[in-house]
């Protein structure tokens, strides 16, 4: 697993959400810490515990000895409260999860989900603040990372973003080591915007790759996509330098170019003329860029922020626009100063 020989420190960890990324984080942390991985489906969790792997999401990757798959939410939360409590649900499930946590006085929560909640286009930290209070201690653990590679113990760098220095230090103590490097940031907004909008750009690059437009086009989309991410992030209060780091350009490059990227696969499917529902069904996993494109398009319109790639992707996803025509419209835009 790439982390053998590391000392078991015994910090209790609970991961709430047993999808691919939640399972991968649980596997990685259980190299050194006792971890409870909670999932809603009792039968699936019983199968995972018996087989010592999550066959539904990460087949072939065995659970370490310190990892236990559970269905008892109460027990999982009480366990994680005394060490580290991690929310590994999609962004659409963060509010219901935070509401469930209201009765537990968890003290802190670290979330892995990336995206904007629909309707009001809220970021994860805003959702948590609404449900658990503005003084609640929370943080986002993001970075360029594919679940399969992370679970296998391949090298990876992540960022823990929180306004609370003690939580940042706690996450570093627990997660940093072996093949995993953890950096810290107090720019929660910037980190979350980078993690969310890069998924939309991955759909765009998937479309371009699927149409055979070449690596020049891919590089242009990634670069101009970073400009869009930065414009939105700074307008929302993020720091410009954040978008040149792991959760900005790092996550963007990985998601736009990696064959394991779900969002890139959505773009490839759209380029092949497949209906969106068929693409999503074939994935079998959540592709956060799809709902995120709708939310970000609406948010950018309200804030009068120029986001042409986002608008083009949303047009293909939701308005019936043709993928090839989408690219043609982007190319036909009037020239402008690159830094404007």
For the chain, what is the mean pLDDT? 94
pLDDT for 340 beyond 80? no
Residue with the two structure tokens 């690159």: 338
Residue 182 has a CB neighbour count (10 Å cut-off) of 20
pLDDT tens-digit series, residues 60-103: 999 999 999 999 999 999 999 999 999 999 999 999 999 999 99
pLDDT for 112 beyond 60? yes
Common-topology check for domains 13-186 and 196-331: no
Contact 160, 141 (CB under 8 A): yes
Q: What does the angle CA 93 – CA 158 – CA 241 come to, to the nearest 5 degrees? A: 100
pLDDT tens-digit series, residues 149-166: 999 999 999 999 999 999
Supply the DSSP symbol for 316: H
Rounded average pLDDT over 191-199: 98
The reported pTM is: 0.93
Predicted confidence band of residue 334 (pLDDT cuts 50, 70, 90): confident
Predicted confidence band of residue 329 (pLDDT cuts 50, 70, 90): confident
Distance CA 180, CA 196 (A): 22
pLDDT for the residue 187: 98
Pick 13-186's CATH classification: 3.90.1200.10, 3.30.43.10, 3.30.1330.30, 3.40.50.720: 3.40.50.720
For the 196-331 domain, the top CATH level (class) is: mainly alpha
Residue 114 has a CB neighbour count (10 Å cut-off) of 27
The sheet with strand 108-111 has its strands ordered as 67-70, 35-38, 13-16, 84-87, 108-111, 137-142, 156-161, 180-185
Catalytic residue (one of 81, 170, 198, 265): 198
pLDDT tens-digit series, residues 276-324: 999 999 998 889 999 999 999 999 999 999 999 999 999 999 999 999 9
Q: Which of 218, 17, 166 lies closest to 100, judged by CA?
A: 17
pLDDT for 5 beyond 90? no
Alpha helices (runs of H) in 241-339, residue ranges in sequence order: 251-257, 262-271, 276-283, 289-303, 308-318, 323-331
pLDDT for 339 beyond 80? no
Contact 144, 261 (CB under 8 A): no
Instruction: Look up 265 and say whether it is catalytic.
Output: no
Parallel, antiparallel or unpaired: strands 137-142 and 108-111 = parallel
Q: Extract the runs of DSSP E, i.e. beta strands, from 166-250.
A: 180-185
pLDDT tens-digit series, residues 221-256: 999 999 999 999 999 999 999 999 999 999 999 999
Contact 27, 54 (CB under 8 A): no
Rounded average pLDDT over 51-61: 96
Rounded average pLDDT over 190-219: 96
- In angstroms, the first-to-last Cα distance of the chain is 46
Predicted confidence band of residue 104 (pLDDT cuts 50, 70, 90): very high
Distance CA 337, CA 56 (A): 48
pLDDT for 1 beyond 50? no
Residue with the two structure tokens 């792997």: 53
Distance CA 281, CA 275 (A): 10
What are the domain boundaries of the chain?
13-186, 196-331
Distance CA 273, CA 170 (A): 47
To the nearest whole percent, how much of the chain has pLDDT over 90?
Answer: 89
């Amino acid at each position: 697993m790439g982390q053998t020989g590391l000392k078991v420190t015994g910090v209790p960890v609970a991961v709430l959400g047993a999808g691919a990324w939640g399972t991968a984080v649980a596997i990685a942390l259980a190299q050194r810490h006792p971890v409870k991985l909670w999932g809603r489906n009792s039968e699936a969790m019983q199968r995972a515990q018996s087989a010592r792997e999550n066959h539904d999401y990460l087949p072939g990757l065995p659970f370490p000895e310190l990892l236990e798959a559970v269905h008892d939410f109460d027990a999982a939360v009480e366990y994680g409260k005394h060490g580290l409590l991690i929310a590994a649900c999609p962004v659409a499930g963060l509010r219901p999860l935070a509401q469930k946590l209201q009765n537990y006085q968890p003290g802190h929560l670290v979330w892995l989900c990336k995206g904007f909640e629909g309707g009001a286009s809220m970021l994860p930290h805003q959702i948590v603040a609404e449900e658990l209070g503005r003084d609640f201690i929370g943080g986002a653990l993001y970075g360029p990372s594919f679940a399969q590679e992370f679970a296998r113990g391949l090298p990876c760098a992540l960022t823990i973003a929180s306004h609370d220095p003690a939580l940042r230090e706690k996450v570093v103590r627990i997660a940093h080591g072996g093949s995993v490097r953890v950096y810290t940031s107090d720019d929660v907004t910037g980190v979350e915007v980078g993690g969310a909008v890069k998924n939309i750009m991955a759909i765009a690059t998937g479309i371009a790759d699927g149409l055979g437009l070449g690596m020049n086009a891919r590089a242009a989309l990634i670069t101009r996509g970073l400009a869009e991410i930065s414009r939105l992030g700074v307008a929302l209060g993020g720091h410009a330098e954040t978008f040149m780091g792991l959760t900005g350009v790092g996550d963007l490059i990985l998601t736009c170019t990696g064959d394991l990227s779900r969002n890139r696969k959505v773009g490839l499917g759209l380029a092949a003329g497949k209906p969106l529902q068929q693409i999503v069904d074939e994935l079998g996993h959540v592709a956060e860029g799809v709902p995120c494109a709708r939310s970000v398009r609406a948010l950018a319109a309200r804030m009068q922020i120029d986001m042409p790639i986002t608008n083009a992707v949303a047009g293909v996803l939701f308005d019936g626009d043709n993928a090839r025509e989408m690219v043609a419209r982007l190319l036909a835009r009037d020239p402008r100063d690159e830094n404007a």
